[in-house]
Amino acid sequence: MKILVTGGAGYIGSHTCVELLKKNYDVVVLDNFSNSCEESLNRVQNITRKKLSFYEADLLKPSDIHQVFKDHKIDAVIHFAGLKAVGESVTIPLKYYHNNLTGTFNLLSAMDQFNVKNLVFSSSATVYGDPTTLPITEEFPLCATNPYGRTKLIIEEVLQDLYQSDKSWSIALLRYFNPVGAHESGQIGEDPQGLPNNLMPYISQVAVGLLPRLSVFGSDYNTPDGTGVRDYIHVTDLALGHILTLPKLTSKPGVATYNLGTGNGFSVLEIIKEFEKASNQKISYQITDRRPGDIATCFADSSKAKKELGWETTKSLEDMCKDTWNWQKNNPEGYRKHSKED
Ligand code: NAD
Ligand code: WQD
């Protein structure tokens, strides 16, 4: 089976390419490198000792997408490509709407034209807004609290409309909770450009000495220690969720939605403590004001994915911290410099 992976050079995409190649899928990656670089794909091929096809191409250019479908008989698409920084989406919403929505519409039109109707879409727990009860099931009410989240919500709705109009589409909406960690080899991992927006890459850059200290955004939430609680999921467990979704797609048309999380919530202070243990480094931090738009607690009920896909997470918080640290210490500046081991 041949899988087109849009955004395959990015953080989650590269880890998914590893698992696809390991399972002997043929992989074609389309990425414009707006938030990644080719080195991640070189390393995916090093880890697996297998080749993938790669196109430096932009979803905003229909001719780029058509070229891929002309060159390859694609069976299914895993669509990661998109911009993902919540804060930036508030500052430059039009760029987010254009890239994420127009890019997706161009992809869907090409898929329709080339009769490729199996799609896995990267959605997010952000579509649940601030939930009133926990854990979060797929049936919870949806809402967007920022332009980034709205792009996810709109695309989910567009995909429902598409299936209603043509029942031969088979679509999975995967709602990720908080992806962290790195491949156990330490060769690929999260490589934020500029100051990290998310907790785990920020902590690991403090640990490696690139940043002086972490700001803990608020200690007065209604949580056991007052700091925000999230459902962190190892990126390899997340990648494996995509692999298990593929046979389901090709077995029956429809739109299916799955939460991909562990079901466990950890606070910011718990993450700092576990990371200190894993890295044997002191993480300097200060408590600051809450970050606007943050919620107190968020964790998943992923029993539907377990029941219908046979998917379960196997990696612990210790694994997530150990693997993040292994990646960060071997690649202090991400992919920009060769790793210490090279
Ligand atoms: P990432 O930025 O590392 O990867 C996205 C990739 O898409 C990048 O390689 C980027 O260059 C590419 N891209 C962006 N716009 C493109 C375009 N117009 N044409 C071609 N390529 C384009 O992000 P990630 O963390 O791997 O996230 C992957 C997907 O998962 C995104 O859709 C994101 O919104 C979603 N998601 C991420 C998280 C998270 O915390 N990382 C959580 C929930 C959902
Ligand atoms: C986690 C916790 C912060 C940074 C975001 C997106 C969401 C999804 C995943 C894409 C919170 C605290 C963070 C820091 C801190 N992405 N924190 N200091 O906000 O749960 O989710 O990424 O879909 O849409 O919103 O993740 O890692 O930013 O924050 O104290 O420097 O860490 O307040 O409690 P978040 P995060």
- List per-residue pLDDT tens for the chain, 342 residues long: 999 999 999 999 999 999 999 999 999 999 999 999 999 999 999 999 999 999 999 999 999 999 999 999 999 999 999 999 999 999 999 999 999 999 999 999 999 999 999 999 999 999 999 999 999 999 999 999 999 999 999 999 999 999 999 999 999 999 999 999 999 999 999 999 999 999 999 999 999 999 999 999 999 999 999 999 999 999 999 999 999 999 999 898 999 999 999 999 999 999 999 999 999 999 999 999 999 999 999 999 999 999 999 999 999 999 999 999 999 999 999 998 654 444
Give whole-number Cα distances, 307 to 258, 265, 302, 311, 312, in Å. Answer: 11, 21, 9, 8, 9
**Which residues are known to be catalytic?**
148
Closest ligand to the CA of 120: 1
Residue 252: predicted pLDDT: 87
The two tokens of residue 151 are 């792009």
- Whole-number Å distance, alpha carbon 223 to ligand 1 midpoint, is 30
What lies within 8 Å, CB to CB, of 24 at 6+ separation is none
- Atom 30 in ligand 2: which residue has the minimum CA distance? 216
Collapsing DSSP states into helix, strand and coil, what is residue 201?
A: helix
Helices (H), the chain: 11-22, 38-48, 62-71, 86-91, 93-96, 103-113, 147-165, 199-207, 235-251, 268-279, 303-309, 317-330
Identify which of 234, 246, 231, 245 has the alpha carbon closest to the alpha carbon of residue 297. Answer: 231
* CA distance between the termini of the chain: 33
Q: Which residues line ligand 2 (CB under 6 A)?
A: 84, 86, 124, 126, 178, 197-199, 202, 214-217, 228, 230, 268, 291, 294
Pairing of strands 285-288, 229-230: unpaired
Hey, which of 11, 64, 100 would you mutate to test ligand 1's pocket, going by the most ligand atoms within 8 Å of its Cβ?
11
The two tokens of residue 108 are 């869907």
Domain range list for the chain: 2-341
Collapsing DSSP states into helix, strand and coil, what is residue 286?
A: strand
Q: How far apart are CA 173 and CA 65, in angstroms?
A: 21
- Whole-number Å distance, alpha carbon 172 to ligand 1 midpoint, is 17
- Whole-number Å distance, alpha carbon 198 to ligand 2 midpoint, is 5
Collapsing DSSP states into helix, strand and coil, what is residue 329?
A: helix
Fold observed for domain 2-341: Rossmann fold (3.40.50)
The two tokens of residue 196 are 């990290």
Residue 332: predicted pLDDT: 96
106 lines ligand 1 (CB under 6 A): no
Q: What is the largest CA-CA distance in the chain?
A: 56
- Whole-number Å distance, alpha carbon 10 to ligand 1 midpoint, is 6
Residue 340: predicted pLDDT: 43
